[in-house]
Structure 1
């Protein structure tokens, strides 16, 4: 923790996390053990902090709120108000509860690096779409009521533990020798804590996250590029001196900083690690803070060694209107040479239970796009077959190098899982798992370009047509654009060359055709973006926005629409 951080009682947050019709969850990190109080109108809630690796956290569960209300709130630490900050240029933070029956509006995106927001930072990584969104919602660069969402979903790579910024490297270098492994990558919990501070401490973004409820899931860079790509990749990592410390710190800090706030009060109550926190709060002396360090590390170690021991995936229900299923596509992979799966058996069973109809709109959050460009899909499927020995062991080794070298590790590279989830989704969309939704939409990130595609049943399969519109809507990156020379190459390879080549090589390796066929509706585009969707009478509206700097004013970037699409969907 820096000297600047140590001077403030409130280190990070407050962050508005799980919110429903009458309750809200507020997360904070503080500089010391304390009692945290949230007051929202007549409602008051409090929680003692718990400790981990010398840091202090509280999760305050605020209950008894009015549905559909927007109530300003304050945060106090041991009786002293710490939020909102005195003299803040931003509006009062509010708790905005869900209103039953109101059309759902949701923002989402992925891949955001944490560099400065001045000209140097913007020249390096472009204008931060999240910060631009924050300033528009705060009324700094436009009307404050501009299409305010009910929540934002961050679909991976909230932090980059491997590709660190100058600020993060400076922090690392002050602690240890960066000429020794793991060099400028993260080594332990303390470095993760600082990385989250860099990601979430900008004043504009901090204000937004104190008001806009958020849900999150990790992707590879939250831990390391290509995390759990293959059995060979896993063996390479486990042979190093530093991987075990990285994965324990990564999963442990993820549970604290991201995962806890994804859960409802009832879901948290069933979490064995959280039960330690609540039991301590109920029976220990009020002045004694629980140190969760040892239990947290043991939990993270087991979650890595035995992925089926813990589920990172979760689901949100919005009445009959919508269901949001968010899938862990990293930690739960099965990587044995004779059995590769994106999800283990328990996770696949759980997902099957969540993929059902009887809602108007089914949203599936997956950090990795389920439906890549069709040609690239078959290239990845071929890559899996090649690495698996379809053409012999020598070419299998070449296939493994290609898999790791060019990131052939999306859903398409786990064909068994892709085919299984495709069957589930088709059953939902044809009405065999309850009333067919109007739309089934995969929301994804990861690939550093955005697009919308639509799937249909492949002709001449004899399968029944879909009753739902089946979409893939990608938003990536929020702030980490591809270099311009890479944008052209990505577009050509993904949507041009890969098309004819992919099908040919896949057939040569006896990769089966998918029962679906899909094509672009919009895209691709490569800007830093934040996407939004809204349920409408006709179906869905989706749009993508970016920040732009005019007249050199990097402090207050304007927000402009990059792309939009109206999806007209049938009623059932």
Structure 2
């Protein structure tokens, strides 16, 4: 029956000949993916595996033709479970193998809370940009790019383990006392499973996930705010009665719900948990394997010894290349040797940042480039917390770090400097043919913007940020952030100098933004040319269940001739929306919609 499918199908890693389809079922079963093509009916099967009493399957679909799109069904024990037949009017779910040529279109964003889509929550949380986009595509609207994306990249905080909704708190309260630690925050795997059900259970999102391949990476709220900010933060968490259960459940559920689908078939074949699952399934081919003990042991080891597992990964994008970087679990926090990435992870990233691609994309949940004043402020705070203003102020630096979330790349100065050197070498053609651009894609900061590194030769280097999908800053905080972006520059520079923090190698400036409402970013790569748009939703005529897609910004960022030092200035932009514009963009088209609700 259709109810056998709790979540999914989610179409995950897709390449030119294969695809991974992930589901959660209500019971142990055999899951099949079936589709018809010119060669007739084809079926791929996988048995579910269990984790803490929940049931999952990842079906590997192979033998696909590049660029071919085919409708498919999901069956549970040979009964059709998807399409669900629940009366929702959505087109058939399809799988499309990656074409070998042509433009690449990528949607990305971060920070999405899971609350109802009604008048009350549209006031408190805004319109869900991802759901608004799904409904627009269903109804034949293509958005500013004119066609659907090839891939959805979710850059963290898809679930909030530390800031739960009333629905999640009701679930928790039915299991344990909310007055006992960790209170309304998540405590174990069962609670994570319910959190994912609430996050991914909306019919429009289930349909979107069923045909749009997705890749994911965690950020702090997937586990807890400020996750791995510092040694002091770790010590405070480990002193609690509940942290061990949280981190084991958080990393274990992340592997099941998010990370497993990031991997290609070859990468899964080398993954230790997947290998263990296959070993157990081979020993018991007709029964569901319970993987609970292996998942828990794996998660505990991954937290205790971060070098035991790599959450970062790469993904080809036609002639371009995507590198997704774990900027949370791989941190090295020891005073005097702090690094956003531990030594092994940094070596891995060094190996991935190479030329020979049309464009090189680096996705990291935390923006690599903040406004320069804020970058200086974070670098200063790191120095103070390390004793740069004397031992008596170390505690002040640590307090500021946690209270103000001063823990982005700027707060890991040596890491920032090392990565800028790597990227400069790529952009200058020292690691193979220089790409047209190096693009950093990020989220986290609850506002969206574009910045560019000031270079006169070689590849362009830009930062594109999209945050939040649905979790907007209060309006008073928007004013604070906008003001700090400017006011912090002289203050941050002065403070950093006082703590003898060297200036960063790069200089960069704002190109567009900030935009504060809920957004989903759309990026098109067509040869040398780049185009980026930010879209959201708004309510018209009180139709809260059917928001209308709006275009917040539509930017065409053409690559200049090699050696060009200047680009024409912009003819006109809407006042107050685009800031810090300097001659680094050949064309920029900005359309700002009336965001009234």
CA distance in 1, matches of 2:141, 2:388: 56
Moved more, 274-283 or 342-351: 274-283
Q: Residue 163 of structure 1 corresponds to which residue in structure 2?
A: 163
Q: Residue 508 of structure 2 corresponds to which residue in structure 1?
A: 518
Q: Deviations over 1:264-311 (max 9, x none)?
A: 00000000110011222333231x111000110000000000000000
CA distance in 2, matches of 1:56, 1:366: 30
Shift of 1:79: 0.8
CA distance in 2, matches of 1:448, 1:309: 32
- Matched ranges for 1:55-74 at <5 A: 55-74=54-73
Q: Residue 357 of structure 1 corresponds to which residue in structure 2?
A: 355
Partner SS state of residue 25, structure 1 = strand
Partner SS state of residue 66, structure 2 = coil
Q: Deviations over 1:427-475 (max 9, x none)?
A: 0001001000001000000000000000024xxxxxxx54111000000
Partner SS state of residue 418, structure 1 = helix
Partner SS state of residue 85, structure 1 = coil
Q: Residue 496 of structure 2 corresponds to which residue in structure 1?
A: 506
CA distance in 2, matches of 1:571, 1:277: 52
CA distance in 1, matches of 2:107, 2:427: 24
* Aligned residue among 2, 5, 11 for 1:10: 5
- Matched ranges for 1:69-88 at <5 A: 69-86=68-85, 87-88=87-88
Partner SS state of residue 516, structure 1 = coil
Distance 1:383 1:143, change over 3 A: closer
Does residue 1:326 correspond to 2:321, yes or no? no
8 A Cα contact 2:142 2:148, kept in partner:
no
8 A Cα contact 2:2 2:82, kept in partner:
no
CA distance in 2, matches of 1:97, 1:209: 15
- Matched ranges for 1:96-175 at <5 A: 96-139=96-139, 146-175=146-175
Q: Residue 425 of structure 1 corresponds to which residue in structure 2?
A: 423
8 A Cα contact 2:2 2:80, kept in partner:
no
Q: Residue 3 of structure 1 corresponds to which residue in structure 2?
A: none
Moved more, 160-169 or 35-44: 35-44
Q: Residue 42 of structure 2 corresponds to which residue in structure 1?
A: 43
Shift of 1:147: 1.7
RMSD between aligned residues: 1.5
Partner SS state of residue 553, structure 1 = coil
CA distance in 1, matches of 2:195, 2:144: 30
Shift of 1:551: 0.3
Q: Deviations over 1:54-85 (max 9, x none)?
A: 00000000001111011000000001000011
- Matched ranges for 1:341-490 at <5 A: 341-457=339-455, 465-490=456-481
Shift of 1:535: 1.0
CA distance in 2, matches of 1:65, 1:101: 16
Return the TM-score normalized by structure 2. 0.92
Query: In the comparison of the two structures, how many residue pairs are matched?
Result: 557
Partner SS state of residue 335, structure 1 = coil
Shift of 1:143: 8.6
CA distance in 2, matches of 1:180, 1:432: 57
Q: Residue 25 of structure 2 corresponds to which residue in structure 1?
A: 30
Partner SS state of residue 333, structure 2 = strand
* Unpaired segments ≥5 residues, structure 2: 563-597
Distance 1:221 1:313, change over 3 A: same
Could you list the structure 1 runs, at least 4 aligned residues long, displaced by more than 4 angstroms after superposition: 140-146
